[in-house]
Amino acid sequence: MDIIEAWWQTHCVLTDAQNHCQRFGRHSANPYHNLQHCALVGKAAVFYGMEAGLGCKDLVALGLAGLFHDFDHSGKPLDVLPDRENIQKALQRFQKYSNTRFLKADFSRTVRRIIANTEVQKVNGQIWFQEPTGELEMFIRDADVSQLLFPEGREMQAGLAREMGLPFDPVFRKKAVEFLRAVRLYTEPAQRRRADLQDFLETWAQEEAAKCDQSPVRGGCSMYCCSNHGAAFRGLSRGENDR
């Protein structure tokens, strides 16, 4: 990701947008759906897009969509607050940003479309993802659900457990790896990265379990509160596996 970070820093609209989100966002206190998660989704989407040969304009659109897609996320469970309300806040904030930065209308609409497609729903206790409506939406979707494939994403797994109201224990890590193995990835770069890291992730889960066993706190971490993607481990999106 060093190359992506260097590329990111050369595009002032992305660094400016990141600073904007940090200044005005109230989601920084969330254990998982926070500024770091949004930035990683944006950079992972750029990484996958760059691997696929997307042009600079599309890469910047992906970066912006990632930065704003969970802006002011509530961190609350879907059965308490539907994700549609989170998405509306994200869209409204991006539109304000776009207006003050005089982004071109067609480009702004593209970013808004990508953000809107990240909405998830809870149906009969299961998490359902929207089908991507276009090529760019595929990249942002893959970036959002494949955080475990990046070091920063693995470091944030304890925060995800906290939002899900679960202990960050061996069972959680095993189910996180199982979810990533089963969820449908739409882009070839994401599919390839998952295949390349499959053995590593199995080892990661085992090594983290060993650390957990050595922790003075039983289970390695205490039980946390709040849930958003808890059912993701029990119900995957339509078309779970790659086709």
* CA angle, 237 then 83 then 13, to 5°: 100
59 belongs to a structural domain: yes
How confident is the model at residue 165, as a pLDDT?
83
Number of domains in the chain: 1
**In the prediction, which pLDDT does 211 show?**
61
Residues 123-143 as b or e (16 or more Cβ within 10 Å = b): eeeebbbeebeeebbbbbbbb
Between 126 and 90, residue with greater pLDDT = 90
DSSP 219: T
CATH of residue 121 = 1.10.1300.10
Find the domain containing 224 and state its range: 2-233
Query: Is residue 239 in some structural domain?
Result: no
Q: Is 148 among the domain residues?
A: yes
| DSSP 8-state assignment for residue 174 | H
Q: What is the mean pLDDT of the chain?
A: 86
Residue 149 inside a domain? The answer is: yes
Residue 225 in any domain: the answer is: yes
Quick one: tokens of 149?
Answer: 């494939």
Q: What is the pTM of this model?
A: 0.85
Position 77 scores a pLDDT of: 67
Q: Looking at the domain assignment, is residue 242 inside a domain? A: no
Burial label, 235 (beta-carbon count in 10 A; 0-12, 13-18, 19+) = middle
Residue 229's pLDDT is what?
Answer: 37
171 assigned to some structural domain = yes
Q: Residue 62 pLDDT more than 80?
A: yes
241 is a domain residue: no
Please state the rounded mean pLDDT for residues 98-125. 94
